[in-house]
Structure 1
Amino acid sequence: MAASEVFVREAGSGPGVVCLHSNASSSSQWRGLMDSLSRRHRVLAPDAYGAGKSPGWPMDRPLTLADEAEFIEPVLQRAGSPLVLVGHSYGAAVALIAALRQPARVKALVLYEPTLFSLIEAESPQPNAADGIRHAVAAAAAALDRGDTNGAAEHFIDYWMGTGSWAATPESRQLPIATSVRNVRHWAQALFTEPTPLAAFRSLELPVLYMVGDRSTASAHGVARLLVPALPRVTPHRFDTLGHMGPVTDPEPVNRVIEDFLARL
Structure 2
Amino acid sequence: MHPEQAIDDLGSGTPLVLLHSSMSSKSQWRKLAEQLAGRYRTLAIDLYGYGEAEYPATPEQFTLTQETDRIETIIRQSIGDQPFHLIGHSYGGATALRYAYAHQSNILTLGLYEPVAFHLLEPNEPAYQIIREVAERVAEYLNQGDIAAAAGHFIDFWSSPGTYLGLPAERQRILEHYIPKVSLDFQAILRESVKAADYRTLKLPICMLRSQESPLPTRRVAEVLENTLPRLECHWVPGGHMAPITHAEIVNLHWIRFIQQPHHTVPQAHEPR
Contact 2:23 2:175 in 1 (8 A): yes
The match for 2:159 is 161
Q: Which amino acid aligns with 2:54?
A: P
Contact 1:26 1:48 in 2 (8 A): yes
The match for 2:184 is 186
| TM-score normalised over the length of structure 2 | 0.91
Structure 1 moving runs of 4+ over 3 Å: 2-6
The match for 1:176 is 174
Q: Give 1:216's match in structure 2, choosing from 210, 214, 217.
A: 214
- What is the DSSP-based 3-state SS (H/G/I as helix, E as strand, rest coil) of the residue aligned with 1:168? coil
Displacement after TM superposition at 1:21 (Å): 0.5
CA distance in 2, matches of 1:212, 1:170: 28
Instruction: Provide, for residues 204-261 of structure 1, a one-character-per-residue CA deviation record: whole Å limited to 9, x for no partner.
Output: 111101000110011001101111121111110101x321111111111011111111
The match for 1:82 is 83
Q: Give 2:226's match in structure 1, choosing from 220, 225, 228.
A: 228
Go from structure 1 to structure 2 and tell me whether the alpha carbon gap of 1:64 and 1:222 turns closer, same or farther (over 3 Å shift): same
Q: Give 1:253's match in structure 2, choosing from 234, 243, 250.
A: 250
The match for 1:131 is 129
The match for 1:65 is 64
Contact 1:113 1:210 in 2 (8 A): yes
- What is the DSSP-based 3-state SS (H/G/I as helix, E as strand, rest coil) of the residue aligned with 2:164? helix
CA distance in 2, matches of 1:178, 1:134: 20
1:103 counterpart = 2:100:
no
CA distance in 2, matches of 1:221, 1:60: 29
Contact 1:6 1:46 in 2 (8 A): no
Go from structure 1 to structure 2 and tell me whether the alpha carbon gap of 1:235 and 1:259 turns closer, same or farther (over 3 Å shift): same
Query: How high is the sequence identity, in percent, across the aligned residues?
Result: 35
Instruction: Provide, for residues 173-218 of structure 1, a one-character-per-residue CA deviation record: whole Å limited to 9, x for no partner.
Output: 2111111111232111111111111111111111101000110011
Contact 1:133 1:159 in 2 (8 A): no
- C-alpha RMSD of the superposition: 1.5
Q: Give 1:243's match in structure 2, choosing from 219, 240, 244.
A: 240
CA distance in 1, matches of 2:4, 2:133: 33
- What is the DSSP-based 3-state SS (H/G/I as helix, E as strand, rest coil) of the residue aligned with 1:17? strand
Contact 1:100 1:204 in 2 (8 A): yes
Go from structure 1 to structure 2 and tell me whether the alpha carbon gap of 1:263 and 1:5 turns closer, same or farther (over 3 Å shift): closer
Instruction: Provide, for residues 136-159 of structure 1, a one-character-per-residue CA deviation record: whole Å limited to 9, x for no partner.
Output: 222222222222211111100111
The match for 1:31 is 30
- What is the DSSP-based 3-state SS (H/G/I as helix, E as strand, rest coil) of the residue aligned with 2:17? strand
Q: Which amino acid aligns with 1:258?
A: W
Displacement after TM superposition at 1:40 (Å): 0.4
Q: Give 1:206's match in structure 2, choosing from 201, 204, 207.
A: 204
CA distance in 2, matches of 1:7, 1:125: 35
Q: Which amino acid aligns with 1:172?
A: E
Contact 1:130 1:218 in 2 (8 A): no
Residues 42-61 of structure 1: pairs in structure 2 closer than 5 A:
42-59=41-58, 61=60
The number of equivalent residue pairs is 260
- Structure 2, unaligned runs of 5 or more: 263-273
- Structure 1, unaligned runs of 5 or more: none
Most deviating of 164-173 and 214-223: 164-173
